[in-house]
Chain A
Amino acid sequence: MGFWDKVSNIDRRWIYLMVAVATFFPMIVVMQFPVELTPEAVQLYEAIDNLPDSSVVMLTFDYYPSAMAETRPMSIAALRHMFSKDMKVVTVSNIPLGGPTIAEDVTRSIAKEYGKEYGVDYVNLGYRANYVAVMHGLATSIESIFKADFTGTPLKDLPLMQDVKNYNDIEFIFVVADNATIDYWISIVNAQYNIPVGGGVTAVVAPKMYAFVEAKQLTGLLGGMKGAAEYERLVKISGSATRGMASQSLVHFLIIFFVIIGNVAYFVTRKHEKGQK
């Protein structure tokens, strides 16, 4: 077996090792790269930025802990943006595992920095099963779906929720999701109740969302860690997504390198095989 045959049939564990090295290296040797903005990220930022101060916005935590590296920085940057404009934030999750807990941890820590008070400036509704029913139900009455918030406090005891009864009292919904719930936020909440919806999704889901941005059913889009880094740049913070860009850059280059090497090996071995015939 020649060199290129070996390359062509390389044990995939060598590939895994190289990816691991490319991921860890920038964590040891700190590298920072300037993040360029895409029109979709700017559109989302402007949609929120143009809302009047003290508007009520909804932020969803529709993601499992597994996708936190991509989605959590989006939630953090969005909360910083919203609290800096004194907006009232209602958080909700359509994911039973992770979403409500992450919402609780993230929102409370960011709110503390901005001196925001729970129940007055922000509320975490938590999770209720069957997101299709939840999305429809919130249009009629939030209290019909969530009798109490995540910690069990009845909504009637929370001052913010006295003014927020249904979608009519919410100016904008920022959906951060790692799965199909965003499809339903678009097709149910935006299409049927005319509430502007912006999206922050994992890189895998992002390509599908361009169709909805173009159709104006989605107001702006953040795709994956790069999208989160763009939003961090827009709200002028340097968060984990901006730091993660170095690892992502190296791994992307490595994959391109693999593709090139794989193709060279493919053509050389094919030529060799043809020669033998």
Chain B
Amino acid sequence: MRNTLPVIIAFLAGIAMVISFFFNPERTVLGTFQENLLQWVTIVGGFTLVLGVFSIVRVNARAVSRRSDGWFYKLATVISVFAMAIPSIMPTSANSAFGKVFYSIFPISWAGAFGTGPDSIYDWLFNYVDSPMMETMFATLAFYIASAAYRAFRARSAEATLLLITACLVMLWRVPIGEALLRGIDVRIPDYINMFVMNGFNLSVQRGIIIGAALGMASMSLRILLGIERTYMGKG
């Protein structure tokens, strides 16, 4: 039963989604079933967040209690989790039952600091701590691209040489100085790059990969629905 029940649930949920796709949501229950099922996914997802918090606290708290390497950073991680989470779930007014109890203990002037609205603790931490860190991480991509290009773009074969030349042309075309340079050589080159490279080779290759991946995805979904592929459940 432990093996069969999840497969049956997966099959029923999946097949219901497939069937409801072909029915009019305004005329049948089946049509709205898809929407309801997707909302269930969101609700279940919300509950699993507790698992995530439990995992992150357990792994890091263990390292802190053992004073293992970098324990201080792990402590900062745990504190950060709660520093972001707790003020954001505190009541922002005394209207609710929880709010009444909370603001009978704490002054109501604190209300603005809680929740996720403008000027709240969450908002402040997000704008001045989290957001700049995210931007910094994304910006490092430029450095990594440079080092990867230096190492990987080698004219080892005819195909690699073609790839290398095309990449350099596209890089030139995508910036104003490069485009001006290409136009200086021949005024039609930038248009040709757009027409033949981006809307030609690039487009057809992307389509090939997209179609192949979509078929792979559909095939995998079918295998899951029929219970042939069960490894993702830890079976088979």
- A-side residues, CB < 8 A to B, are 10, 12, 15-16, 18-20, 23, 33-36, 38-39, 64-69, 97-98, 101, 104, 129-130, 132-133, 136-137, 140, 151, 203, 207-208, 210-211, 214, 223-224, 226, 245, 248-249, 251-256, 258-259, 261-263, 266-267
Contact = CB atoms under 8 A, between A and B. Distances in A.
Given A39-B194, A101-B123, A203-B174, A259 B164 contact: yes
A269 to B, nearest CB: 11
B154 A262 contact: yes
Q: Which 10 A-B pairs have CB atoms at the shortest separation, nearest pair first?
A: A33-B176, A66-B138, A133-B38, A249-B175, A65-B131, A66-B134, A12-B147, A258-B150, A249-B177, A130-B42
Contacts of A136: 34-35, 38
B176 A251 contact: no
B51 interface: no
Contacts of B186: none
A190 B46 CA distance: 29
Contacts of A68: 135
Contact of A211 (B149, B183, B203): B203
B176 A249 contact: yes
Please classify the interface of chain B as helix (H, G, I), strand (E, B), loop, or mixed, using the class held by over half of its residues. helix
Most A CB atoms within 10 A — which of B118, B123, B177?
B177
Contacts of A98: 126, 131, 134
Given A36-B179, A251-B142, A256 B171 contact: yes
Given A262-B153, A263-B164, A252 B178 contact: yes
Nearest to A260: B168
Given A98-B131, A129-B42, A259-B150, 14 more contacts: A65-B131, A67-B138, A104-B118, A129-B46, A132-B38, A133-B42, A207-B198, A210-B199, A226-B174, A226-B175, A249-B178, A252-B178, A259-B167, A262-B153
Contact of A214 (B131, B190, B199, B210): B199
B126 A259 contact: no
A104 B168 CA distance: 39
Contacts of A12: 147, 150
Most B CB atoms within 10 A — which of A19, A66, A97?
A66
B146 interface: yes
A258 B151 CA distance: 9
9 contacts: A15-B146, A18-B146, A36-B183, A36-B190, A66-B138, A101-B126, A129-B46, A211-B210, A256-B172
Interface in B4-44: 25, 34-35, 38-39, 41-42
A36 B145 CA distance: 25
Please classify the interface of chain A as helix (H, G, I), strand (E, B), loop, or mixed, using the class held by over half of its residues. helix
Contacts of B3: none
Interface in B57-74: none
B143 interface: yes
Contact of B146 (A67, A101, A249, A251): A251
A136 B17 CA distance: 13
A12 B145 CA distance: 11
Contact of A34 (B145, B176, B198, B210): B176
Most A CB atoms within 10 A — which of B38, B39, B146, B210?
B146
B178 A130 contact: no
Contacts of B126: 97-98, 101
A129 B131 contact: no
A245 B175 contact: yes
A1 to B, nearest CB: 17
Contacts of B108: none
